[in-house]
Amino acid sequence: MKKPYLIIFIFIVILLMIGFFIGNNALNTNNNTKEVKQVENPKTLIVYYSRSGNTKAIAELIQDKVGGDLIQIKTAEARSANYHEEVNQNEQEQDNDILPELKTEISNFESYDRVFIGAPTWNMALPQAAVAFLESYNFSGKTVIPFNTNGGYGEGSTFSQIEAGAKDAKVLEGFSVKGGEETNGILLAIKGNRKVEVSKEIDRWLKKINQQSQ
């Protein structure tokens, strides 16, 4: 190779090496340090806990929009249908870190890439059945997306509990909406026109977090 060509060749090689180094660094900083599989058609699970149907309604709307399997978290022992009894039992369980045994078992959990997890706000936190669910599975490498319904006081600590419980998962921005107000005799609120409105809110949220496709 003649000298001028050799110099140009070495110059191009150096440029390529600098380009590779910068590109690699940019990728690493975007990675959020968690190793999460980037899948084109993620196998999706929508799992939820619901007493009076509001969180269930959101779970079904999400399934209509993104597809996937829908599973309700159920406790081994039936819960009280009486609101005040449930309020007391829940507080007892939360205060004493008691986890109710679950009837629900998901044998193929490791096959899911993307897991939507929904629960109502109970005493400004997660119902302990949802905590029991988080403690039962390995979330490493999955994308986790929380959703919530509440009586008007917001998601409380439910999203941060999901984030802490789904260890080594990539947790995306959650969706929270007002559901029932059992204290005022309103059990299922997400129905009829309200359901249509909420469905549009879910569309906007899914678009924002880039999860709208089937």
Ligand X SMILES: Cc1cc2nc3c(=O)[nH]c(=O)nc-3n(C[C@H](O)[C@H](O)[C@H](O)COP(=O)(O)O)c2cc1C
Considering only 42, 46, 47, 50, the residue that binds ligand X (CB under 6 A) is 50
By the rule CB under 6 A, 152 interacts with ligand X: yes
Residue 144 C-beta: closest distance to ligand X, Å: 19
Beta bridge partners of residue 120, listed in sequence order: 149
Residue 55 C-beta: closest distance to ligand X, Å: 3
**8 Å CB contact between 117 and 142:** no
By the rule CB under 6 A, 165 interacts with ligand X: no
Query: Which residue shows structure tokens 């039992």?
Result: 89
By the rule CB under 6 A, 121 interacts with ligand X: yes
H or E segment and range at residue 177:
strand 175-178
The CA-based diameter of the chain, rounded to the nearest angstrom, is 90
Helices assigned H by DSSP within the chain: 3-30, 54-66, 83-95, 128-136, 158-165, 192-208
Residue 122 C-beta: closest distance to ligand X, Å: 4
By the rule CB under 6 A, 149 interacts with ligand X: yes
User: What CA–CA distance (Å, rounded) separates 142 from 162?
Assistant: 13
By the rule CB under 6 A, 75 interacts with ligand X: no
CB-based contacts of 185, cutoff 8 Å, min separation 6: none
User: What CA–CA distance (Å, rounded) separates 121 from 154?
Assistant: 7
Residue 147 C-beta: closest distance to ligand X, Å: 10
Considering only 44, 52, 176, 211, the residue that binds ligand X (CB under 6 A) is 52
Q: Is the Cβ of residue 113 or residue 162 nearer to ligand X in the bound state? A: 162
By the rule CB under 6 A, 71 interacts with ligand X: no
Beta bridge partners of residue 46, listed in sequence order: 70, 116
What residues numbered 166-185 form the site for ligand X, per CB under 6 A?
A: 179-180, 182
Residue 137 C-beta: closest distance to ligand X, Å: 21
User: What CA–CA distance (Å, rounded) separates 204 from 212?
Assistant: 9
How many amino acids of this chain bind ligand X (CB under 6 A)?
24
Q: How many CB atoms lie within 10 A of CB 19?
A: 10
By the rule CB under 6 A, 120 interacts with ligand X: yes
Q: Which residues bind ligand X (CB under 6 A)?
A: 50-56, 83, 86-87, 90, 120-124, 149-153, 179-180, 182
